[in-house]
Amino acid sequence: MNRFNTMVAGVAAAAVLVAAPVSAQMDEADIVDVAVQAGNFTTLAAALEAAGLVEVLKGEGPFTVFAPTDEAFAKLPEGTVEALLQDKERLTAILTYHVVPGSVMAADVVGLDEAGTVNGATIDIEVDGSTVMVQNATVTATDITASNGVIHVIDTVILPPEN
């Protein structure tokens, strides 16, 4: 197991310790707990921990998170995730680019062509039939509700403009 995988496993284990009990209703769990319980967001959980954003996304909200899966992070060039985990400022900029203030359900997302993110930049939204794209990422699952917002799953990590 390489250093990154060890770090992800450690953060995922730590996140489980702060997660809601398994018996809790999903709508009582916050965004972080729902993501951890889903099991396919361990890299995202590690990144949130490294950026110091876990407590923010456990906060009152509401938030809409376009959550990249572990497979989405794996698409990044080799070494990118490890480098980001060491660059808190850049990591925070990327992660907050995936968060929109408010609770925006799928029915609302399809009516938008852009949305302002917590990062301050705007993401483009494009709908083509039943396919919804956020920047260059395809939305693969929608309306995963949490006590403080909603998660939409995406298949690619989206990167904010360099400014």
At 28 the pLDDT is 82
Higher pLDDT pick, 20 / 78: 78
* CATH code where residue 63 lies: 2.30.180.10
Tell whether the model's pLDDT for residue 13 goes beyond 50: no
Model confidence pTM above 0.85: no
Domain total in the chain: 1
101 lies in which domain range? 3-154
CA 92, CA 48: separation in Å to the nearest integer?
8
Answer yes or no: is 89 within a domain. yes
pLDDT for position 43: 95
Report how far apart the first and last C-alpha atoms of the chain are (Å, whole number). Answer: 36
How many angstroms separate the CA atoms of 47 and 94, rounded?
Answer: 10
Mean pLDDT, the chain, integer: 85
Q: Does residue 105 form part of some domain?
A: yes
In-domain check, residue 48? yes
Q: Does a structural domain hold residue 159?
A: no
